[in-house]
Amino acid sequence: MSTFDDAAAATAPTSAAPPAEQGADGSALTVVVLAAGGGTRMRSKTPKVLHRIGGRSMVGHVLAAVAALQPARVVTVIGHQRELVGPHVEETMPGVVLAVQEEQLGTGHAVRIALEALPEPPSTGTVLVAYGDTPLLEAATLSAFTEAHRAAGAAVSILSGVVASPFGYGRVVRNAEGHVEAIVEEKDADDAQRAITEINSGILAFDAAFLAEVVGRFANDNANGEYYLTDAVKLARADGLLVTAHPVDDALQTEGANDRAQLAVLGREMNRRIVERWMRAGVTVMDPATTWIDADVTLAPDVTVLPGTQLLGTTTVAEDAVVGPDTTLEDCEIGAGARVVRTYGQLATIGAGATVGPFSYLRPGTELGADGKIGAFVETKNARIGEGAKVPHLSYVGDAEIGEGTNIGAGTIFANYDGVNKHRTTVGAHARTGSNNTFIAPVTIGDGAGTAGGTVVRRDVPPGALAVSSSPQRNLEGWAISRRAGTAQAAAAEAARDAAARDAE
């Protein structure tokens, strides 16, 4: 059997699509995902399969790979914390069938429950069984395995793996001719069987008719007292049916995370694969080790990602944009050629050619137009900033609309909150507002208007007008010398006065 190495190039879809009516090749495929187990080693109030890496839950990754096969139906077996796992699975894959396994009596029992949950148990085609905690599993691996199973005409096929330390796994027992005879679990194995390094990954494919019949024949007279799905192998052989095993080269694809240390290892490996995939697709990543990209992120060719950057959720970055260093963007949309430096952004849209940062905080609802600017120490929220408009320095822009070509002075606060309600501020196009302004919402500043430095804008400013709210400046001559006598301030004032007097001579 050839390896599934080429599968590594495959990409999972961005979200798990609902099951189709038919398998992609016209033969019915049913997929059973086992996710009823407890996962106590996570030591968590969150169920094991809902722990996240790469921006999705572990079971979310598995369901995305499964969805790419366009199976006729998908059943997920839930048990432990099913009130949390069930809704998550349904949300991830609308149309999925949930089967509740009250007590985890073994994988064979779980699959029986899964078939019973279907209105019509499949009698033709293929049933593929996978686990909900193998996040690196790829669609191409599943489909190559399913194809191999069908091509062989086997009753049961095993996605196996040859590993250095097989401890804990079911071993694939072959006869003298190399034909698969059984899977023997660790606790039931004798010394010779324990020495076998070909293991059952857990992913099995069945002829649907055979499975429907054999699930009623599992016994639990084994070391674990469980109903083993893996007993289907020896039962098929006893019936004179064919069983095949297909070793997968990339063993990590079927590896589960049982504790947080394993979760981190798989998370880093997933990220390594995602980053590599984007580099091969034309993205420059200066430091892959400090770059984190979620599975559902989309990057265009010639994007550059600088060190210390996290691109999370459904973030998209268009071509020639440069993101980073030290930037986190979650569910953001970055336009072509934009530049985003040392920024934290959530649900923000940045137009083509715009610049953001350093040290900018983009909160949800930020929309920066093409060629606009959000500069250093600027926080924005629910703010539409027009094409070419600029908020360059030290400002808070909340619940605002800023027209195209407008420049907001340094240190401006859009005071949107009166302590009870939030209000909007509208600034028109090509306005020029002074430094250190406060805009008390709700308020409107018209097109082409201006405001003087230090203005507190409480009333609307008509188009083209200049608003001045601070009182005229008075200078009390000689104040420092008379009122601050004996201080450094007074001495400096005296020196300046004496110098001016000398110059005047």
Which residue number, 246 or 381, has a Cβ lying nearer to ligand UD1? 246
Q: Which amino acid is at 113?
A: I
Q: Rule CB under 6 A: say whether 189 interacts with ligand UD1.
A: no
Applying CB under 6 A, among 68, 110, 140, 305 the residue interacting with ligand UD1 is 110
Chain position carrying tokens 């998209």: 316
3-state SS of 18-80 is CCCCCCCCCCCEEEEEEECCCCHHHCCCCCHHHCEECCEEHHHHHHHHHHCCCCCEEEEEEEC
Which residue number, 200 or 406, has a Cβ lying nearer to ligand UD1? 200
Applying CB under 6 A, among 63, 66, 89, 105 the residue interacting with ligand UD1 is 105
Q: Rule CB under 6 A: say whether 106 interacts with ligand UD1.
A: yes
**Distance (Å, whole) CA 95 – CA 267:** 28
Q: Rule CB under 6 A: say whether 166 interacts with ligand UD1.
A: no
**Residue among 80, 393, 423, 430 flagged as catalytic:** 393
Applying CB under 6 A, among 23, 135, 170, 351 the residue interacting with ligand UD1 is 170
Which residue number, 99 or 338, has a Cβ lying nearer to ligand UD1? 99
Could you give the C-alpha distances from 503 to 85, 119, 494, 497, in angstroms and in order?
A: 84, 102, 14, 10
Q: Rule CB under 6 A: say whether 229 interacts with ligand UD1.
A: yes
**Distance (Å, whole) CA 445 – CA 455:** 12
Could you give the C-alpha distances from 251 to 65, 134, 137, 167, 468, in angstroms and in order?
A: 16, 11, 10, 14, 70
Which residue number, 214 or 378, has a Cβ lying nearer to ligand UD1? 214
Which residue number, 75 or 322, has a Cβ lying nearer to ligand UD1? 75
Q: Rule CB under 6 A: say whether 44 interacts with ligand UD1.
A: no
Which residue number, 161 or 337, has a Cβ lying nearer to ligand UD1? 161
Q: Rule CB under 6 A: say whether 34 interacts with ligand UD1.
A: yes
Q: Rule CB under 6 A: say whether 132 interacts with ligand UD1.
A: yes
Please choose, from the candidates 84, 80, 76, the residue with its C-alpha nearest in 3D space to the C-alpha of residue 31. 76
In the annotation, is 393 catalytic? yes
**Least distance from C-beta 236 to ligand UD1, angstroms?**
15
Q: Rule CB under 6 A: say whether 77 interacts with ligand UD1.
A: yes
Q: Rule CB under 6 A: say whether 185 interacts with ligand UD1.
A: yes
Q: Which amino acid is at 423?
A: H
Which residue number, 44 or 489, has a Cβ lying nearer to ligand UD1? 44
Q: Rule CB under 6 A: say whether 104 interacts with ligand UD1.
A: yes
Edge-to-edge strands, sheet with 390-393: 284-285, 304-305, 322-323, 339-340, 355-356, 373-376, 390-393
Applying CB under 6 A, among 55, 56, 73, 131 the residue interacting with ligand UD1 is 131
Q: Rule CB under 6 A: say whether 202 interacts with ligand UD1.
A: yes
Chain position carrying tokens 């990057």: 299
Which residue number, 101 or 382, has a Cβ lying nearer to ligand UD1? 101
The backbone torsions φ and ψ at residue 384, rounded to the nearest 5 degrees and listed phi first, read -100, 115
Stretch that binds ligand UD1, among 199-207, 273-281, 341-349, 469-477 (CB under 6 A): 199-207
**Least distance from C-beta 411 to ligand UD1, angstroms?**
56
Q: Rule CB under 6 A: say whether 133 interacts with ligand UD1.
A: yes
Give the number of residues in contact with ligand UD1, rule: CB under 6 A: 27
What is the enclosing helix (H) or strand (E) of 500?
A: helix 488-504
**Least distance from C-beta 205 to ligand UD1, angstroms?**
14
Residues 6+ apart with CB under 8 A from 341: 324, 325, 327, 355, 356, 357, 358
Encoding tokens for residue 468?
């001045």
What is the enclosing helix (H) or strand (E) of 344?
A: strand 343-346
**Least distance from C-beta 372 to ligand UD1, angstroms?**
49
Residues numbered 403 to 432 that lie near ligand UD1 (CB under 6 A) are none
Q: Which of the residues are catalytic?
A: 393
Binding stretches for ligand UD1 (CB under 6 A):
34-37, 77, 101, 104-107, 109-110, 131-133, 169-170, 183, 185, 199-202, 228-230, 256
